[in-house]
Amino acid sequence: MVFRSPFPDVEIPDVSLHQLLFGDIADRADRVALIDGMSGASITYGQLVAMIDRMAAALAARGIGKGDVVGILSPNTPYYAVVFHGILRAGATATTLNALYTADDVAHQLQDAGAKMLFTVSVLLPNAAPGAAKAGVTDVVVLDGAEGYPSLPELLANDHPVPSVEINPAEDIAVLPYSSGTTALPKGVMLTHRNLVANLVQCGPILSDVGPHTRILAVLPFFHIYGMQVLMNNGLYIGGVVVTLPKFELPEFLRVIAEHKTDRVYIAPPVAVALAKHPIVDNYDLSAMATLFSGAAPLDVELADAVRKRLGCRVSQGYGMTEMSPVSHAIPDARDDISVGTVGVIIPNLECRLVDPATGADVGVGERGELWCKGPNIMKGYLNNAEATAATIDDEGWLHTGDVAVIDADGIVSIVDRVKELIKYKGYQVPPAELEAVLLTHPEIADAAVIGVRDADGEEVPKAFVVRQAESEIDGDAVMEFVASQVAPHKKVRAVEFIEAIPKSAAGKILRKDLRAREQA
């Protein structure tokens, strides 16, 4: 049974992302596009487009064009948008890296993506420089300047011609973010211009309250698809103002909402905990914040209600996945009747099915099934990984999300479980296979498996089940310290249990559902 949006299909223009966002900014050239929330410095749409042109010209002069991949490793600032859209304007592909990544993580992504160049900032150089060196990337730009590296102003100060590249929206890869998807390790997600353009246009009917008056707080990172598309690109598409913050710190977050009167604030669920409970929230005038929008992990409905009551704002929720560019479901602005414990309705131009993972049979209203989606926002595939692509998108084009959902008679969808391996810590992806590989390098660990469990605050955290080597007396703290010394902070193991043997199938695959059952018991 195929479920569809309550909204009629929308027309998806056959244009590049640049054409969609900046094709005609005549009416807004003098209006502010982006504000640096830290310094208050702003750039207008006219300045933004001019800088994007200079960036594209500089890249073309360096030999970057169609088919080339360029990395961005930077916290959110207005210049992120300049670099990102400059890369796309040059016809190249942007691969966005998690700012928390270790040098090895950086090297791995740059290498896997085949990146030719990297943009970063001085504070991230300690990981960026060795990562780029290991991947053989020698052209590194440090946006705010560092000795021995070109800076953004130096790059933009050029009079090269803007390259005229012809983008084929349905074929050309605009971005290559990395995601574990439903299987093992992070893979490059090939999103075409059409994928990104489609998802922005598909969200139009959902976001009926937004427009040029909208002021978005962008603290969720632009390297992740949620920040990239829902905050940065959608903010620019609607002609709004995007206020950037480089990291989440509650006082700064609250100050910027109050000072810059941001009416749309996008968060992941852990921020809702702070907004519901922290006493300093009362010290700020947050009355401008009309809508708080949560996504990337399950939102607790009681928590959401507590925030709504305390701050008097609407709390809303969306659901998506990197591989879907990313939005597939959201609560429409105009539907105050929909519970924030749900992810709302299906977006236009998208078909959905719910399929029983055990039998492969479609299920109907009120029954649990794995969510499958098909539409113009579904990725082209994983880079250089036909096997993983085939395991995720079937022959008929259905993307299997690995999430379990229920749809009610009114077409409202709730996400109720996850059947894939992926762990989400504060909305960040944590691939268990990566942690298992690290654990197995410890001489006192014979075997290990990692799953997501709920901590005392209801937060999902990675937990390791560990089999000690004979005679080893290693304890949980030592295991956690060992992992923490080698992985990015969001990937730390936060609970450990010692066990006699890891449950495995006859084929040697870890039986995660047995570990989950053990955890529940």
Single residue of 240, 298, 431, 462 touching ligand 4UW by CB under 6 A: 298
Across 181-214, b (16+ Cβ under 10 Å) vs e yields bbbbbbbbbbbbbbbbbbbbbbbbbbbeebeeeb
Single residue of 45, 293, 425, 482 touching ligand 4UW by CB under 6 A: 293
- State the residue number with the nearest CB to ligand 4UW: 295
Q: 484 vs 251, 437, 481, 489, CA distance in Å? A: 27, 13, 5, 7
Which tokens is 178 given? 């990395």
Identify the helix (H) or strand (E) that includes residue 174. Answer: strand 173-175
Q: Per CB under 6 A, which region of 241-249, 351-359, 421-429, 502-510 contacts ligand 4UW? A: 421-429
297 binds ligand 4UW (CB under 6 A): yes
CB of 402 to ligand 4UW, least distance (A): 6
Single residue of 226, 253, 372, 465 touching ligand 4UW by CB under 6 A: 226
What gap in Å lies between CA 491 and CA 260, rounded to an integer?
33
Question: Which CB atom, from 322 or from 502, has the smaller least distance to ligand 4UW?
Answer: 322
327 binds ligand 4UW (CB under 6 A): yes
What gap in Å lies between CA 343 and CA 498, rounded to an integer?
37
Single residue of 5, 183, 317, 389 touching ligand 4UW by CB under 6 A: 317
163 binds ligand 4UW (CB under 6 A): no
What is the footprint of ligand 4UW within residues 400-419 (CB under 6 A)?
Answer: 401-403, 415, 418
The site map against ligand 4UW for 344-383 (x = CB under 6 A) is ----------------------------------------
Q: Per CB under 6 A, which region of 61-69, 91-99, 396-404, 508-516 contacts ligand 4UW? A: 396-404
Q: Per CB under 6 A, which region of 9-17, 34-42, 66-74, 320-328 contacts ligand 4UW? A: 320-328
CB of 400 to ligand 4UW, least distance (A): 10
CB of 92 to ligand 4UW, least distance (A): 23
What gap in Å lies between CA 70 and CA 48, rounded to an integer?
19
94 binds ligand 4UW (CB under 6 A): no
What is the footprint of ligand 4UW within residues 329-348 (CB under 6 A)?
Answer: 330, 343
With beta carbons less than 8 A apart as the criterion, state whether 262 and 243 touch: yes
230 binds ligand 4UW (CB under 6 A): yes
> Exposed, middle or buried by CB within 10 Å (0-12, 13-18, 19+), for 444?
middle
What is the footprint of ligand 4UW within residues 436-465 (CB under 6 A)?
Answer: none
Q: Per CB under 6 A, which region of 100-108, 303-311, 423-431, 456-464 contacts ligand 4UW? A: 423-431
Task: Give the number of residues in contact with ligand 4UW, rule: CB under 6 A.
Answer: 28
Q: Give the CA radius of gyration of the chain.
A: 23
CB of 46 to ligand 4UW, least distance (A): 29
322 binds ligand 4UW (CB under 6 A): yes
Single residue of 225, 272, 388, 466 touching ligand 4UW by CB under 6 A: 225
303 binds ligand 4UW (CB under 6 A): no
Which tokens is 444 given? 């006192």
What gap in Å lies between CA 318 and CA 297, rounded to an integer?
9
Q: Per CB under 6 A, which region of 20-28, 38-46, 72-80, 395-403 contacts ligand 4UW? A: 395-403
Question: Which CB atom, from 48 or from 435, has the smaller least distance to ligand 4UW?
Answer: 435
With beta carbons less than 8 A apart as the criterion, state whether 55 and 83 touch: yes
186 binds ligand 4UW (CB under 6 A): no
CB of 32 to ligand 4UW, least distance (A): 23
Across 274-313, b (16+ Cβ under 10 Å) vs e yields bbbeeeebeebebebbbbbbbbbbbbbeebbebbbeebeb
3-state SS of 311-350 is HCCEEEEEEECHHHCCEEEECCCCCCCCCCCCCCEECCCC
DSSP H stretches of helix in 385-486: 386-392, 432-440, 476-484
With beta carbons less than 8 A apart as the criterion, state whether 352 and 365 touch: no
What gap in Å lies between CA 181 and CA 263, rounded to an integer?
32
Q: Which residues contact 272 (CB under 8 A, 6 or more apart)?
A: 292, 294, 299, 300, 303, 304, 307, 315
DSSP H stretches of helix in 233-381: 234-237, 250-260, 269-277, 301-311
Single residue of 319, 382, 398, 465 touching ligand 4UW by CB under 6 A: 319
> Exposed, middle or buried by CB within 10 Å (0-12, 13-18, 19+), for 103?
middle
The half-sphere exposure of 171 on its side-chain side, counting CA atoms within 13 A, is 5
429 binds ligand 4UW (CB under 6 A): yes
318 binds ligand 4UW (CB under 6 A): yes
Residue 385 burial (CB count, 10 A)? 18
424 binds ligand 4UW (CB under 6 A): yes
Interface residues with ligand 4UW (CB under 6 A)?
179, 225-226, 230, 266, 293, 295-298, 317-322, 326-327, 330, 343, 401-403, 415, 418, 424, 427, 429
